Amino acid sequence: MATMRNFVLICTLAALSAAEAGFFSSSHSTSSSSSSSSSSFESAGRICLNGGSSVPSLTSGEHMFCSCAEGFEGRHCEKVKAGQCFEGVGLYYRGTMAKSKRGRTCEEWDSDTRELYLSIDLKSGRHNYCRNLHYKRRPWCFVWKNLQLVWEYCACPPAVSSDSPPPPPPPPPPQAAESTCGQRSRRKQTKIVEEQFATVESHPWLAAIYWRSKSKEKVFRCGGSLISACWVLTAAHCFPDGSLTKARRFSVILGKNMMNESDPTVEQTFRVEEIILHDGFVQNGESFNNDIALLKLRARSGQCAEESSSVKSVCLPPPQQNLQPGVSCEIAGYGKEKFGLWYKSQFLIEAQVKLIADDVCRNYYGNMLSDNMFCAGRPDWSQDACEGDSGGPLVCEVGSTLFLFGVISWGDGCAQENRPGVYTTVTNYNQWIEEKTGLTSITAGSMFPQKLT
């Protein structure tokens, strides 16, 4: 039986060699991703420091200014902001607070911690400044308490504290036709040893789908992608009861960072009003064909999802528009971190995969692969989706906009050699999506950013 896919990272990103091009296609070369990591030092050709990104001119394409990561400012993002501590959970805080909330002085980070987590930090981690290394609720540090070394949250306030002057009133919400899709609030982030944990701001369209058992227990079922305020796209195999599935037993949480913790200031929770499975969905041996489904969220006071830094929609690509083999895309989910584990990840995790040519993929799976599927993976088989990531997004960046090209569907194991992940081809279903939801993709050219109406 096919396994419900969960996204997993099990080793460091490997650079592709020329010999790996055959993994994708015999006639196409691979294209590299543009992910970058924070650094306190300027490297060759690097304009913006500390995770900042260059904003080019729309006319000439030349660098105009740096968009700085949280906690930094200056022309090249070289300065640490004063008087601020963190935003969200403070994963990217790089300030100099060194006191716990109880007034204890932070201890300097040990050499192992510096080597694993702080090598690109200020002073290469040789300091006692507060950091959020293990994805806790906010920055923290080790302190001495009763002759024991323990950790405590730090005293620094959020970036906007109660003592700060009130922010200006927000502008009126844009009309639906003006809302843009596929724009993340924060770039892909945070390499932690052999895994890449992510914040929901870097995947704000990711939806967590839950099922309520007869005992009223809330159980995580699948991932999904927010394609408009009231609609989530996911995999049909997430609903094994088919047409007998009861929508009232499902709910969707948007903006979720961690599985075992809730943050009502960030998360948006909705009951499911309707579940629409594709009529042609079928399990064909160990694979799923037409593995696609739609969830309609039940509006609250006439409002479904509200756009925020943690909740945004992803763009639907134009019908029948496919990318070339070798293009780098990304997947994300809450599934198992490694095949065979009995538990799923408590964190949101991301991975980079590259599209594989159909003829190459058929060498791996034969007639199990239909025209409604495509494969993606890594030449060293180090990254893949796995159990628990089913229904989640495979998105590819085109012109600074993220498009939903795939739905995590099935595969043989996780990160297994010669067994890449298989994804539902979203561009085969634009008409079906429009018929069921009324949503249309407005294209401006062949691959320009689109808006959902």
The answer as to whether 218 is a domain residue is: yes
The answer as to whether 337 is a domain residue is: yes
Is residue 134 among the annotated active site residues? no
211-218's contacts with Cβ under 8 Å and 24+ in sequence apart are 211/249, 211/250, 212/249, 212/250, 212/251, 218/251
425 and 314 in a common domain: yes
**In this structure, are residues 12 and 313 in contact, taking their beta carbons and an 8 Å threshold?**
no
9-14 mean pLDDT: 32
Catalytic-role residue among 121, 291, 384, 389? 291
> How many whole angstroms separate alpha carbon 408 and alpha carbon 393?
6
Tell me which of 275-284, 349-358, 400-409 is least confident.
349-358
Q: How many domains does the chain have?
A: 2
215 and 123 in a common domain: no
Q: Which helix (H) or strand (E) holds 435?
A: helix 430-437
| Collapsed DSSP state (helix, strand, coil) of residue 197 | strand
Is residue 291 among the annotated active site residues? yes
Task: Evaluate if residue 67 carries a pLDDT over 60.
Answer: yes
Q: What is the pLDDT of residue 46?
A: 60
**In this structure, are residues 158 and 145 in contact, taking their beta carbons and an 8 Å threshold?**
no
Residues 356-402 pLDDT 10s: 888 888 888 888 889 999 988 877 766 656 666 789 999 998 888 89
99 and 229 in a common domain: no
43 to 68, 77, 449: CA distances (angstroms): 16, 14, 31
For residue 333, list its beta bridge partners: 349
Tell me which of 131-135, 172-176, 180-184, 291-295 is least confident.
172-176
Tell me which of 53-62, 94-103, 319-328 is least confident.
53-62
159-165's contacts with Cβ under 8 Å and 24+ in sequence apart are 159/70, 159/84, 159/85, 159/86, 159/87
Catalytic-role residue among 345, 390, 409, 441? 390
The answer as to whether 414 is a domain residue is: yes
Domain that holds residue 401: 200-444
Strands (E) in 81-147, as ranges, are 140-145
How large is the greatest C-alpha to C-alpha distance in the chain, in angstroms? 67
335 and 237 in a common domain: yes
> How many whole angstroms separate alpha carbon 351 and alpha carbon 9?
6
Q: What is the pLDDT of residue 81?
A: 61
Catalytic-role residue among 237, 278, 313, 382? 237
pTM of the complete model: 0.59
Is residue 28 among the annotated active site residues? no
Examine the fold and report which residue of 153, 186, 221 is the final residue of a domain before the chain moves on.
153
290 and 380 in a common domain: yes
Task: Evaluate if residue 207 carries a pLDDT over 90.
Answer: yes
> How many whole angstroms separate alpha carbon 191 and alpha carbon 445?
36
Q: How many CA atoms are closer than 13 Å to the CA of 321, on its beta-carbon side?
A: 17
325 and 432 in a common domain: yes
Task: Evaluate if residue 170 carries a pLDDT over 80.
Answer: no
Q: Which of 372, 393, 387 is closest to 339 using CA atoms?
A: 387
Backbone region of residue 65 per phi and psi (left: phi > 0; alpha: psi in -120 to 50; beta: other values): beta
**In this structure, are residues 113 and 107 in contact, taking their beta carbons and an 8 Å threshold?**
no
Greatest mean pLDDT among 226-230, 333-337, 366-370 lies in 226-230
**Mean of the per-residue pLDDT values for the chain?**
74
149 to 108, 145, 267: CA distances (angstroms): 12, 6, 34
**Residue 367 carries which side chain, given as an amino acid letter?**
N
CATH of the domain at 72: 2.40.20.10
CATH of the domain at 375: 2.40.10.10
Examine the fold and report which residue of 95, 118, 153 is the final residue of a domain before the chain moves on.
153
